[in-house]
Amino acid sequence: MIDIALMGIGKIALDQHVPAIAASPDFTLAATVSRHGSVPGAPGFTDIDSLLAAHDGIRVLSLCLPPVPRFDAAARAIRAGRHVMLEKPPGATLAECHALRRLAEAHRVCLFATWHSREADKVAAAKTWLADKRLRSLRVTWKEDVRRWHPGQDWIWEPGGMGVFDPGINALSIVTEILAHDIHLTSATLDVPENRQTPIGAELAFYHPEGAEVSAVFEWRQEGDQTWEIVAETDAGTLKLSDGGARLTVDGAAAPALDDDNPLSGEYPRLYAKMARLLARGGIDMDLRPMVHVSDALALGHRRRVAPFVE
């Protein structure tokens, strides 16, 4: 068992990381770092320097901080010779992600930029099915209620918080995983509330090297049913990933589902299993393509001012 520390004890850490570590055959939660949160049974520290000074035996840190403060924490851990696992997105900017990679290479530690939605149950099957098909179009519809999923998290509305791209990057992580060809953004329209810095909605269009029409709609004002869906039309039929990658149909025929009340429950356990394998072989897993699309959207996007958002 490998001792691991979890930094940033908020909603995602408590909902996903803590249960995944508790169930892992590879890791033991040996400590936490948080100004406010804690986990019963795990020694708590309020800053990373105190943790690093107190625990030489903790070789791995999993960082669940918001994107903006994450670089400093990751850099301190790497300089101390610790391996680092990054919650998505791996940073606030591409430049700092590249800097972390160079730092990890220099200190010969493992660095893992995780994309939990790629570990949804049917993503691998979708990738396999699409591998030998000619894509005609791909449409992403990712609509959810920010009040339900990010209550009280003001950092998402500040520069570096990404706004609706915080969930939207999950869709982009799946798209970049399942498509046989790389795509790039050609245009974007961003809905930005009058009282916020980051978008609450986005419409994206992409270039595909074989001429397929690729588009995405991200929405954070969705009430009622939540929609996380990717539909790919090909020369051999239509594939649909729904429920964030948990369910798959081809021409309406469903792939077998897991006997699980929560088909997304395996995402984080699979991430920690991948981290264990990375530690065993050494190296860096740092795919930044989803973040490139977000960066391009924020650079190219036409801003539309919309009504203020009040939680």
Selecting among 11, 88, 122, 127, the annotated active-site residue is 88
Half-sphere exposure of 129 (CA within 13 A, CB side): 21
The separation between CA 258 and the C-alpha centre of its own chain, rounded to angstroms, equals: 22
Instruction: Output the CA torsion sign for 33, 55, 271, 85.
Output: positive
* DSSP string over 294-310: HHHHHHHPEEEEEPPP-
Residue 205 one-letter amino acid: A
Neighbouring CB atoms inside 10 A of 235's CB total: 8
Q: How many residues does the chain have?
A: 311
Report the candidate in 177, 150, 148, 180 with the shortest Cα–Cα distance to residue 163. 150
Per the annotation, the verdict on 240 as an active-site residue is no
> Which residues participate in catalysis according to the annotation?
88
